[in-house]
A and B are shown apart, each in its own frame.
Chain A
């Protein structure tokens, strides 16, 4: 009896000691979490991780991963910012180099790491141009010429992450002349839709979609995605969508622990898991992005068809932070 008491007492002391050290440093062990059996990952709609990819995480840590998607990337980040400090989940997936300044301003994330990279590029339907004996455009300059009038569909730069990246591509390319180029683009009957899914599945004519426009702002990895998502992937030898490399804008996505999470320790573990080889190797064919982990090997279909521009368009982070609101305001005045 007395021994049992002693053990219990020691146990309590040990727990107390653990608790003490946890709160003393950065509460980095699962015991500091309010609900260590579940961790919520907030992401945008297009976040479609490989089936069962989090099973290994659950086996390792005992925590189930709950993925909550809340609209396009702009919406998800806005909602996260409105609830900064009292978040709806533990880990956020979906901040990229174009939106990172917003997250930093709002003090949204406890910590964040780059988790993948990819290019936002204009895609074209090879079949559409071949059938008409026409050449696809080769760069941003071509898009404002009468030859390509009414052929491009883009996304709202306010709501959609590829839409914003495409705006930034034009700024990177033309500097202060970007507004003039956009005016010419609008005069050339470009269509602006609210999000990527609408642009790709409703307006785009390539890749087996029912739309009428052969040019769409999408990703350098759209071609392998087309093969993977085909009704019979083995029957598709070559994707219909091609990538216009000179239009590519480099996107780096981040995963971060949301400030104010009740489960900081398990959240940190999840971010580490996202950066580890298993998840990184699953990304190319589930999320169609390039891993940041140098140890991750690329699947063959992805290595063969995904485009990563050798000289992508980029903008310094400081420029983005200083000008994003102004660019968006000016872009809306021109494009909407």
Chain B
């Protein structure tokens, strides 16, 4: 692969860009933020404060319960969709996957539409809605590879399906399930928008408490100490999930081939299981749209009209400007995140820049937001009030997902094609432009869709930076739902519907790609 060298070298210098970007807009604010106020003494005082310990306990408790509920719904759905083929499976798969990119406020709004009082049960439901798709995506591919014939042989020899599952399937999917559990737990542990919308003043988690202490009370030291506790916990859980990943690498029945059953007698059951699961997950999203046109059992367009007839002007929510800023930020996020992700990825193997680009997944968005307002508050870095910081932060959050989309696609481009291009006299740039780029164009489109969806839905870090001139759609939804008054609520549901539709559109290629995979 001698012809590969010039490209690698050029790309090597490009790889500095994403690293520098993450250094300035991620590592510096997070580390500086946590170090500037996060003294060990403060952390200890947070852990010994009975009220904050209560908050930590509730955070842990709801995350465990949410994870459990997610598995309860997610595992049967994953079994049905990854082991069986039936009419409508593709549609159900897509439906279960839709919430993955849905803005958290939209899901929260949907659960609120069904359970107007909110509360802990509502929070658990909303968390499950998101995370069933995580189980499906992480465990599904693995489960598909479990050898059906071995299982059938076992069953024909008298093993009950349960026993066959426990002794043959489970050892193969155990690692994937553990991974999924770690990711789901981390999501629920650091969930912000869902708890903010559904919680009310007395339901507090570490994540919402960081925000309350920092923004509402102005106690940065307590906020930072809480963020430290929260970050350490998430890192520990993800590390444990990852560390155990390797200990059951090759299962005995894994074949690397998809094993999808079409046996007639089982056909209704998987379809029913998948249908119920999809219904559980999709109900809140349907409820958002329904609630935007229904109130007290009557149809009304009051909420939709309120969006555009100036009703919301005097509560500081200017919808045309909100839509314009969100759209602008989404485009800007794509323009920042996709080129940076492309620069980070290497064709031969995963680059250091790619690995480092995953870092924003490890830190909650509220912690990032806190770091940003602490760090960028004085000249010459007095940036926290600047509008450009929002798409930059959205790009930080989107970068890991964009890199994960582009990296594998880049490595899937056959080396021989590029060699052939070189042999025919194409220089590295020309080869990249005319051969490589067109081949990864679908991946780039997917990365763009994901980045836009992230920007359209980002809530945690944006809450710290949002201002009336640059308010984004999720922030506006959160504000409208948080205020009393039927018209404001109704308008909140209408805007949540708009937001959900926008994300479905921008994530469309993404969902399609996962469905056909």
With A69-B314, A88-B469, A106-B218 known as contacts, the answer to whether A83 contacts B384 (CB < 8 A) is: yes
CA distance A69 to B218 in the complex (A): 21
B201 engages A194 (CB within 8 Å): yes
B483 part of interface (Cβ distance < 8 Å): yes
A325 part of interface (Cβ distance < 8 Å): yes
Q: Kindly specify which of B60-68, B209-217, B340-348 makes contact with the partner chain.
A: B209-217
A329 engages B315 (CB within 8 Å): no
A81 engages B50 (CB within 8 Å): no
A45 engages B384 (CB within 8 Å): no
Contacts of B219 in A (CB 8 A): 325, 329
Return B48 CB to nearest CB of chain A, in Å. Answer: 12
B248 part of interface (Cβ distance < 8 Å): no
B467 engages A105 (CB within 8 Å): no
Q: Mark B375-408, 1 if CB is under 8 A from A, else 0.
A: 0000000101110000000000000000000000
Return B465 CB to nearest CB of chain A, in Å. Answer: 8
Return A12 CB to nearest CB of chain B, in Å. Answer: 32
With A194-B201, A197-B484 known as contacts, the answer to whether A325 contacts B218 (CB < 8 A) is: yes
B464 part of interface (Cβ distance < 8 Å): yes
With A193-B201, A195-B484 known as contacts, the answer to whether A83 contacts B467 (CB < 8 A) is: yes
Contacts of A71 in B (CB 8 A): 316, 479, 482-483
B201 engages A69 (CB within 8 Å): no
A82 engages B314 (CB within 8 Å): no
A96 part of interface (Cβ distance < 8 Å): no
Chain B: interface residue total (CB-CB under 8 A): 33
Chain A: interface residue total (CB-CB under 8 A): 37
Contacts of A197 in B (CB 8 A): 483-485
Contacts of B82 in A (CB 8 A): none
Contacts of B385 in A (CB 8 A): 82-83, 85-87
Contacts of B483 in A (CB 8 A): 45, 71, 197
Contacts of B485 in A (CB 8 A): 197
Contacts of A325 in B (CB 8 A): 217-219
Contacts of A86 in B (CB 8 A): 382, 384-386
CA distance A85 to B81 in the complex (A): 54
CA distance A243 to B361 in the complex (A): 53
- Taking Cβ atoms with an 8 Å cutoff, the residues of B that contact A are 49-51, 54, 200-202, 204, 212, 215-219, 222, 314-316, 373, 382, 384-386, 464-465, 467-469, 479, 482-485
* Contacts A86-B382, A332-B51 known; 18 new A-B pairs at CB < 8 A: A67-B314, A71-B482, A71-B483, A78-B216, A82-B373, A82-B384, A88-B469, A105-B218, A158-B217, A159-B216, A192-B201, A197-B484, A198-B484, A325-B217, A325-B218, A328-B217, A329-B217, A336-B51
A-B contact pairs, 16 of them (CB 8 A): A67-B314, A78-B216, A82-B373, A82-B465, A83-B384, A86-B386, A88-B467, A88-B468, A105-B218, A106-B218, A194-B200, A195-B484, A197-B484, A329-B49, A329-B219, A336-B202
